[in-house]
Copies of this chain bind each other. A is one copy, B any other.
Amino acid sequence: MARAREKPVTARPPAAGVTLWRRIADDLERAIAAGDIAAGEKLPGETEIAARFGVNRHTVRRAIAELAGRGLVRAARGSGTFVEGGRLAYPISARTRFSEIVGTAGREAGGRLVASRLEPADGAIARRLKIPKGTPVVRLDFVRSANGVPLSAGTTWLPAARAPDAAKIYEATGSITRVLAAAGISDYRRYSTRVTAAVADAIDAARLDLSPGRPLLVVESVDVTPDGKPITTSTGRFAADRVELMVEN
């Protein structure tokens, strides 16, 4: 909405396969994520939003229904539509542990293993882990959440030879640190982090309980043991509406 104030988003460019209601829902969600409308505050009325976007009120209703369906807002007949529940600040440092970050923010860390398998490392994973292409790696696909709200969907690969029981341990504990400890690796640190952004496709949308097309932070990282040898590489896809990355120099 802050941007809408400086230039009306009603100046709609040609449709790019995204319905009007979806665009309005995204804009409202964006305003909420930006803190323009805080939790507990009321959205403008349907007729006002319709006027701002230059669309029919029904279209706005469709957008709000979407947000309500996602638990971002709650509509009350006669009163208005109210915003429910902020972004977690996620520091990227040499020693970043999900459960610590979430715990520090006063939320309860959770997650689940979606899938796991032993597979040969393809070119990209092999390069990241500095192993020959085709080397067996354990692949863990998981979703991480805070207070039950999914924050990221990710995949971690680690050399099977170094952590053959990775999947079983991760399924039981949900912790890479535990997986590595069981493999005799008590210390590791972040070596590199590569950040890009994407929009959620159908799979991520389902895993992260997002609408397709919502922005994601895509974080590819490599962790090394004290001798500098890569021990894991991961790709995490964070819901940008729920998480922001912090880099401290």
A-to-B contact residues, CB < 8 Å: 3, 7, 9, 11-13, 16-19, 21-23, 25-27, 30, 33, 35, 62, 66, 87, 89, 92-94, 124, 189-199, 201-203, 205-206, 211-217, 240, 243-249
Are A194 and B33 neighbours in the complex by a CB distance under 8 Å?
A: no
CA distance A196 to B201 in the complex (A): 18
Q: Give chain A's interface secondary structure class.
A: mixed
Q: Could you say how many copies of this chain the assembly holds? A: 2
Are B25 and A93 neighbours in the complex by a CB distance under 8 Å?
A: no
Are B195 and A217 neighbours in the complex by a CB distance under 8 Å?
A: yes
CA distance A182 to B138 in the complex (A): 55
Are A240 and B197 neighbours in the complex by a CB distance under 8 Å?
A: yes
Q: List, in ascending order, chain B residues with CB within 8 A of A12's CB.
A: 202
CA distance A205 to B13 in the complex (A): 9
**Interface-centre pick from A26, A92, A94, A206 (highest chain B CB count, 10 A):** A26
Check A245/B199 contact, CB under 8 A, given A13-B212, A23-B212. Answer: no
Q: List, in ascending order, chain B residues with CB within 8 A of A17's CB.
A: 18-19, 21-23, 25, 62, 66, 211, 213
Check A247/B213 contact, CB under 8 A, given A12-B202, A27-B201, A199-B26. Answer: no
* Nearest B residue (CB) for A36: B124
Are B190 and A249 neighbours in the complex by a CB distance under 8 Å?
A: yes
Out of B18, B35, B66, B193, which one reaches A249, CB within 8 Å?
B193
Check A9/B203 contact, CB under 8 A, given A17-B66, A198-B215. Answer: yes
CA distance A26 to B217 in the complex (A): 15
**Interface-centre pick from A18, A93, A245 (highest chain B CB count, 10 A):** A18
**Interface-centre pick from A93, A195, A217 (highest chain B CB count, 10 A):** A195
Are B247 and A205 neighbours in the complex by a CB distance under 8 Å?
A: no
CA distance A25 to B199 in the complex (A): 12
Q: List, in ascending order, chain B residues with CB within 8 A of A191's CB.
A: 249
CA distance A194 to B195 in the complex (A): 12
